[in-house]
Structures are given as C-alpha cells and as structure tokens.
C-alpha cells in the first residue's frame, strides 16, 4: 500500500435516513474504483460494509464501517454510517473525523427525519457537505423537487453538479454541468461510461444550472465577484478554485444525481471527490487542549509532526478482541510505536496497525497524518480517547454523544451471571458510548439507556451471543418519594426490652412537620434538661434517617420532613445508642403514618420536535400520558412542543412517537421535579409494595 500525503486524502462520511442506499452506494463505489471485483447487495447480505450477523439478518447498518479506495491518485476514506436513529451515536463519531459529510437522499421520498437529524449535526461540526440524490431510477423519482426541498430544508447552498437525462426506470445518464457533457452508463457490472455532447433539449437546463453554479462560485471572493459582473463569466481555472473555496467555507453544497443499483453517476461523483472535496490539509487542523491545561492548540495534519491519534470507534470482534478505529491528526504512526493515552496517562504500544475495508484488514507499516486506520488489542484505550507522543500531550475534543431517550432494567435469567453481564454491558458501552449502563442503588436495578428500543434489544442479543448470558429487559422501577402533608405535634414511642441481664430502653417524643418541596430532611434537637442524654441524640437522628431511606408506605425514600426531638426518658443501665435508634425508627414510622403520608413521582421536562401535520396527534398523546403542555415553538417546518410528563408515562415513548409521526418525530427529556401522585396510582403502588413484601415472607 503506498503512502498518501495529507493533501491527497479525502475523508468522507455517508449520512442520511435508513434505506436511502448508503451501503449500496459504498459498495458500487468500491467496485467502480476496482477496490473489489464483484458487487454485493444488502438483500443477499454480502456487502463489504454490512458484514456483522445482525446487520445481515436485519438488512440495515447497525455500526459504522470504514472503507477506502483510490481514484485519480487520491485515497478516499469512506465511513458508511447507520441510518436508523437508534444508532445516531455512530454518526456523530464518524462526523468527528471526516472532512466532508455527504447526505444521501431518496429521490422519490425527499427529505426524511433521519436526513434532517443527521443534517443538523453537519452544522454542529462545521463540516463542508454534499448531497447525493439516490434512487433516481425509482419510477416515482422527483430529482428537481427533492433538490428544491433540500435547498429550503437542509442548506441554501445546495447547487446541482449532475442532473438526470431521464428519470425513473430509464435512468442511465447524467448531465455534468462542470464538464458540460452527458455521461451515459452501461450495465452495473460493466464499468462502461460513454461521454457525449449534451442533447439539444437539455441544453437550456444545463446552461441555467451552470449559470447558477458560476454565480454561487463568484460569491467566494470579491475579486471573482467583480470579474463576473464585468465580464459575465469566469475562466475554468477560476471556477475550479472558487468552487473548492466555496465548498470549504460551506457556501456551496454540491448535489449529484445517482443510482446505486444501476451504477449511474458514479464516475462524475468520484471525479468531483478527488478534484473538489477538501483534504485534511485544506481543513487546516483540529483544535485540541494541552493535556492538564485549559489551553487550546491547533494540531496540524503534518506527517513530520509529533504523533497524535483519536479513537472514534471501538469494535469487539470474536477471535480478534477489540479493534480501535482511529484518525491520525498529526505525525506518522508506525507499528511498534509507544504512545500515551491522554485521559489516563497509560502507555499503549501499537503492535499492529491496519487499513480496513469492512471486516477486511490489511496490515501496514505506517499511517500518516490525515489518514484513517485501525489497531487491535489496546489495553486501556477506548472510543473518545486521544493517544499522543510523550513530547506533545494534547487531547482532541471528545465527541458529545446524544443523551439517552429510552431506559430499561436488565434482570439476569440465571443466578451467578451478574459479573459476566456487567463486563458485557461495559464492553458494549465502550463500543457505542450512546449506549450507557449504571446500577441504581435506590431501585436496586441495573439500568441500560440508549437511543431506541432496537439498540437496547440488540445489546441483550449481543450479551447472549458473545458472553452466553441471558437477561430480560423490563420497565425500570420508578423512584417514587414518600412525604407528609400534615403536622403531628406529639408522637411517642417507648422501646423496652427485658430478657435477663441487661435490657434495652429508649423513649422519645417527636414533632413531625412537612417541609417545602426539595428541602430534604431537617432534624432539630429540642431536648431540655438532659431527659435524653446528649450521647444518644446522634443515634436518634441515625434511626430516623435509616427509616427514611427504606421508606414507610411503599419502600421508597422519604423526603421533605422536619423532625423535632423534644422529650423522652432514659434508663441509667438499660439505655444505649441501639435502644434509642430503634425507638427513633419506630416513633418516626408511627408519626409518619399519622401525618397524612403521600407519594411523589418524578416529572420530566419533554421537548418533542415534529412536523406540523402531526402536532395534534402528539399533543393528544402527551395529554393521555398525564402531561401538561408548557408551550410551543416553531423551527422551520417543524413544531417544538414543550411539556411536563410523569416519568412513569414515558417508558418506550420513543417507539410511540415514531409510530405517531411515521418516524419523523424526535424528542429529548430530562428530570424536572417531583410532585404528588394521583390517589388511584398511589394506591396501586402501595398495594404492589405490600404484595411483594408478603411474597418475600
């Protein structure tokens, strides 16, 4: 494998809605560039990109695949990302290390929710972009309509580079307005392209689109703008330079007409990648922080610089172990090199470095700045970690993964599997940080969280396949709270036990009062005259707090209560800390039941983004979940609904929202406050708690 300088590398990522054809496009590009010798298909499960068993079974991309090929002396690294929103974390990771984001749209369906969601990430990463309008061979293809929609809803910089001669089942040729020629493609496997003059009936359209392109290019600089106004045109060289600048500064997003299944439009797209897409050198470098200091530094893609690499994806493979995909931001990596993990200061040896095409790895001696590669068996390095030389301690800004929108509790099917399950879940999190796991001691459950039901279901499936452990995924318990609504001026309890020898004696009088929401617990020592000796007071407080942790009516934590210890008695021989701790616990329980106890439930703030036509259905569904609408905002053609909804009503809400909006609604949620549970729900929770206690006995 020859070495490529950073200016002859193009790092691109395919993003877009599921089913838009990203994997099929990746496959035909590998074939067209002679990287592979036969064209695989998603339906047959033999593509280079979707190679895992789960991807083959479900016929969708689940994980980002790294691919590469050469065209016109340029190395193209292509990251094929999942389109299903459950795996959006992989999309963000891929965008972090690429220099151009390519949105893949379906010509008939146009802009879909996955396009809009991943398209919004392009702005977050300030990436140059392009648009492929795929499936122009679909009988309902509407190339120009989809192009106009992309200008309105994705980017005003959308500018046609190739357009179809005929759409639908006869699509076999495109007009390239940069070269002002027609390209007619042979059968998919033939790699044949016939270049000819543009048909007379399409000349007006071609000239119109070329004029628009030149006008957009002229906006790249004042000199070009002045020349265009004076002469009415630009030279070929000025167009080329201006177009490169415009893509780099994000004022132009080139648009291409393609068909992955017919292999139409591929050469034009490949030529454009090598000639116009920015290289790592064009992009200028990556901002990083000097490790241990809050000081920014620019890491330039210089092959002779100090080595710096960033791990953007971890894949756990049987018989191989962990495979770490990385981008070299600086320097030249060589096999056997030692680098330092900047997050934990541990040294890592790069024993084998490779370039990859899907599951196929090819070992190489070195990988230079700007390039993407893989390394196996790093001991303490995972996704989002930076490895750098001892002489240049820098940390690449980590990927900010999306917050989870769905949670489930993992219950082992067999006892003794807990450690295997914990290790397995931890590995799955390292592979995909948008999937998270934590043990919640309050509800005594292991909670897994992610972006959707499919992501969680696949995690459970992988636990069984890789680690041989089976779990049930159930609705997590709700962390209710108990509190009181009334004041009890005097509640008394005397703990007295005599069983031969020294006995136990503790006697207390409490006053219980409710506190404002969120104030927690307040204990007041109002003992006068030593009726309860000072050495026993801490035991009294501890007895109350332990009882509050376990709860009184439902097994949930007690909050917002003030307890005043104002009287009691003691025995000079039989009283001790344990006696007063027991007396305090029993007195608190007794008083709590007299003080109009009630349950509180967590209320989450929910923000739902949906197309306007689904707003009524979504608002009705929120109301049906005991939600309170706070207000609405608009964002282009979308409406944003803000509401407060009980956590108990949000389980699997992501699936319901997709169902209501044909997959076009997205939401985010966070805890807001606690408030009182309706009586009928409270009664049900208490009954279930009492029933479980009876079963335990």
- 638 pLDDT band, cuts 50/70/90, is confident
Task: Give the span between the Cα atoms of 174 and 192, in whole angstroms.
Answer: 14
- The pLDDT of residue 697 is 65
Q: What is the pLDDT of residue 499?
A: 73
| Chain segment 605-628, per-residue pLDDT in tens | 999 998 889 999 999 999 999 999
Please work out, in degrees rounded to the nearest 5, the angle formed at the alpha carbon of residue 693 by the alpha carbons of 690 and 694. 90
Instruction: Evaluate if residue 87 carries a pLDDT over 90.
Output: no
Strands (E), 99-180: 100-106, 129-134, 158-160, 162-164, 173-176
Looking at residue 583, its pLDDT comes to 97
Query: What number is the average pLDDT over the span 652-672?
Result: 88
Q: Do 394 and 379 form a contact (C-beta atoms < 8 A)?
A: no
- 174 confidence band (pLDDT: 50, 70, 90): very high
The H or E element that residue 49 is part of is none
Instruction: Compute the average pLDDT of residues 156-176.
Output: 96
Q: What angle do helix axes 200-218 and 222-231 make, rounded to 10 degrees?
A: 140
Q: Hey, how many other C-beta atoms are within 10 angstroms of the C-beta on 10?
A: 24
Q: Is the pLDDT of residue 445 over 70?
A: yes
Lowest mean pLDDT among 94-98, 375-379, 546-550: 375-379
pLDDT of 53 above 80: no
Distance (Å, whole) CA 677 – CA 599: 6
SS3 7: helix
pLDDT at residue 38 in the model: 86
All structural domains of the chain: 8-283 (3.40.50.300), 286-396 (2.40.30.10), 406-474 (3.30.70.870), 482-595 (3.30.230.10), 599-680 (3.30.70.240)
Confidence label for 254 from pLDDT (cuts 50, 70 and 90) = very high
> What is the per-residue pLDDT for 206?
97
Res 9 pLDDT > 90:
yes
Whether residue 57 is predicted with pLDDT greater than 80 in this model: the reply is no
Q: Is 357 helix (H, G, I), strand (E, B) or coil?
A: strand
**Could you report the per-residue pLDDT of 421-436, keeping only the tens digit for each?**
998 898 888 888 999 9
Looking at the predicted structure, is the pLDDT value of residue 318 above 70? no
Nearest to 53 by CA among 462, 425, 579, 486: 462
> According to the model, what pLDDT value does residue 56 have?
65
pLDDT bin (cut points 50, 70, 90) of residue 319 is low
What pLDDT is recorded for position 229?
Answer: 83
Please give the share of the chain, as a percent, with pLDDT higher than 90.
70
Mean pLDDT of 553-576: 94
Lookup: tokens for 636: 């282009």
Confidence of residue 75 (pLDDT cuts 50, 70, 90): very high
CA 611 and chain centroid, separation: 22
Average pLDDT over every residue of 168-186:
96
Mean pLDDT of the chain: 91
Q: Can you name the residues that pair with 672 across neighbouring β-strands? A: none
Looking at per-residue confidence, does 64 or 102 come out higher?
Answer: 102
């Amino acid at each position: 494998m020859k070495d490529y300088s950073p200016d002859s590398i193009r790092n691109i990522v395919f993003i877009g809605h599921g089913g838009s054809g990203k994997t099929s496009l990746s496959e035909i590009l590998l074939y067209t560039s002679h990287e592979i010798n036969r064209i695989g298909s998603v339906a047959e499960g033999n593509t280079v990109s979707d190679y895992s068993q789960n991807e083959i079974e479900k016929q969708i991309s689940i994980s980002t695949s790294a691919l590469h090929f050469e065209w016109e002396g340029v190395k193209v690294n292509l990251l094929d990302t999942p389109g299903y929103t459950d795996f959006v974390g992989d999309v963000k990771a891929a965008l972090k290390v690429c220099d151009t984001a390519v949105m893949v749209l379906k010509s008939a369906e146009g802009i879909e929710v996955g396009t809009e969601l991943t398209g919004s990430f392009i702005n977050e990463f300030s990436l140059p972009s392009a648009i492929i309008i795929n499936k122009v061979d679909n009988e309902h293809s509407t190339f120009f309509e989809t192009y106009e929609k992309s200008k309105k809803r994705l980017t005003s910089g959308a500018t046609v580079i190739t357009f179809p001669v005929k759409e639908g089942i006869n699509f076999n040729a495109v007009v390239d307005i940069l070269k002002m020629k027609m390209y007619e493609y042979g059968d998919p496997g033939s790699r044949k392209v016939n270049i000819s003059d543009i048909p007379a009936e399409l000349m007006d359209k071609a000239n119109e689109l070329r004029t628009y392109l030149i006008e957009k290019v002229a906006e790249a600089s004042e000199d070009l703008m002045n020349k265009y106004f004076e002469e009415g045109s630009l030279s070929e060289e000025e167009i080329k330079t201006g177009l490169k600048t415009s893509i780099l500064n994000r004022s132009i997003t080139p648009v291409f007409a393609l068909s992955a299944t017919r292999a139409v439009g591929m050469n034009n797209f490949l030529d454009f990648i090598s000639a116009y897409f920015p290289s790592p050198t064009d992009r200028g470098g990556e901002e990083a922080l000097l490790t241990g200091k809050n000081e920014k530094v620019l890491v330039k893609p210089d092959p002779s610089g100090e080595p710096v690499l960033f791990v953007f994806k971890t894949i756990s493979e049987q018989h191989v172990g962990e495979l770490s995909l990385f981008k070299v931001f600086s320097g030249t990596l060589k096999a056997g090199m030692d680098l330092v993990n900047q997050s934990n200061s541990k040294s890592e040896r790069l024993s084998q470095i490779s370039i990859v095409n899907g599951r196929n790895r090819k070992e190489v001696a070195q990988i230079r700045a700007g390039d993407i590669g893989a390394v196996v068996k790093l001991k303490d390095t995972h996704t989002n970690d930076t490895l750098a030389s001892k002489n240049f301690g820098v940390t690449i800004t980590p990927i900010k993964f999306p917050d989870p929108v769905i949670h489930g509790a993992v219950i082992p099917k067999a006892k003794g599997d807990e450690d295997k399950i914990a290790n397995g879940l931890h590995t799955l999190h390292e592979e995909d940080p948008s999937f998270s796991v934590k043990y919640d001691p309050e509800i005594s459950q292991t909670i897994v969280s992610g972006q959707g039901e499919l992501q969680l279901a696949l995690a459970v499936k992988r636990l069984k396949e890789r680690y041989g452990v089976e779990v049930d995924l159930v609705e997590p318990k709700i962390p209710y709270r108990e509190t009181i609504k009334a004041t009890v001026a005097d509640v008394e309890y005397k703990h007295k036990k005599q069983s031969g020898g020294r006995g136990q004696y503790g006697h207390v009088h409490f006053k219980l009062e409710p506190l404002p929401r969120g104030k927690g617990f307040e204990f007041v020592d109002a003992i006068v005259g030593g009726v309860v000796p000072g050495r026993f007071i801490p035991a009294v407080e501890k007895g109350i707090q332990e009882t509050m942790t376990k709860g009184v009516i439902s097994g949930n934590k007690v909050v917002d209560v003030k307890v005043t210890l104002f009287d009691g008695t003691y025995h000079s021989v039989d009283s001790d800390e344990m006696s007063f701790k027991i007396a305090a616990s029993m007195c608190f329980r007794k008083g709590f039941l007299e003080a109009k106890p009630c349950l509180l439930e967590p209320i989450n703030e929910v923000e739902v983004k949906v197309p306007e036509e689904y707003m009524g259905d979504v608002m009705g569904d929120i109301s049906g979940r005991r939600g309170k609408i706070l207000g609405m905002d608009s964002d282009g053609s979308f409406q944003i609904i803000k509401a407060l909804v009980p956590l108990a009503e949000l389980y699997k809400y992501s699936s319901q929202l997709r169902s209501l909006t044909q997959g076009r609604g997205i939401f985010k949620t966070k805890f807001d406050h606690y408030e009182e549970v309706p009586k009928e729900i409270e009664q049900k929770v208490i009954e279930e708690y009492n029933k479980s206690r009876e079963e335990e006995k």
